[in-house]
Amino acid sequence: MIKITNIKQSYLQGKSVVKVLNGINLNISKGEKICFIGPSGSGKTTLLNILGLLENPISGSVLINSKNCNLMSLEQKTMFRRQYIGYIFQNNQLLEDFSVIENVAIPLILNNFPKRFSLNKAKEILKTLGLIDKVNFKPGTLSGGEQQRVAIARAVIKKPFILLADEPTGSLDEENTKKVMQIIFSIINKLGTALVLATHNLDLIKKFDRCYKVDDGLITEYEE
Of 9, 42, 45, 147, the one binding Mg ion by CB under 5 A: 45
Distance CA 118, CA 104 (A): 9
Residue 9, classed as helix, strand or coil, is: strand
Task: Count residues binding ligand ADP (CB under 6 A).
Answer: 12
Distance CA 207, CA 190 (A): 16
Q: Are 102 and 111 in contact (CB under 8 A)?
A: no
Q: Is 42 in the site for ligand ADP (CB under 6 A)?
A: yes
Of 2, 32, 43, 146, the one binding ligand ADP by CB under 6 A: 43
- To the nearest whole angstrom, how small is the minimum distance from the Cβ of residue 19 to Mg ion? 17
Q: Closer CB to Mg ion, residue 44 or residue 158? A: 44
Distance CA 143, CA 66 (A): 40
Cα of first residue to Cα of last residue in the chain, in angstroms, is 27
Q: Is 57 in the site for ligand ADP (CB under 6 A)?
A: no
- To the nearest whole angstrom, how small is the minimum distance from the Cβ of residue 22 to ligand ADP? 12
The residues binding ligand ADP (CB under 6 A) are 11, 13, 18, 20, 38, 40-46
